[in-house]
Amino acid sequence: MEEGIVSRYGEDKGLGFICAEDGKEVIVQRSAIEMEGYKFLNVGDHVIFEVTETFRGLEAKKVRKTVQGEAVS
């Protein structure tokens, strides 16, 4: 799992970007967020995720918000 910070997220489109610890920008879609209820991210949220290569570029999967490195649901 990688760690990063949400740099942009458009609630209306459910699409945004995570700045990974290594500096790479990774695409994130609402469907990749793992949490109860309505799935959303805020700019500045710390997250852990897996990265896959898609036709769009690097994309985050299994995205979970964290608090001090611990995943929260």
- Tens of pLDDT, residue by residue over 21-48, are 999 999 999 999 998 888 999 999 999 9
Q: What is the pLDDT of residue 37?
A: 87
Please, which pLDDT band fits residue 67 given cuts at 50, 70 and 90? Answer: confident
pTM: 0.86
Of 64, 70, 71, give the one whose Cα is nearest residue 18. 64
Question: In this predicted structure, what is the pLDDT of residue 61?
Answer: 97
> Residue 24, Cα to own-chain centre: how many angstroms?
12
Domain locations in the chain as residue ranges: 2-71
Cβ count near 52 (within 10 Å): 12
Asked whether the predicted pLDDT for residue 71 surpasses 70, the reply is: no
Write down the architecture of domain 2-71 according to CATH.
Beta Barrel (2.40)
- Nearest of 13, 54, 48 to residue 30 by alpha carbon: 13
Strands 2-10 and 15-20: antiparallel
* Confidence check: pLDDT of 73 > 60: no
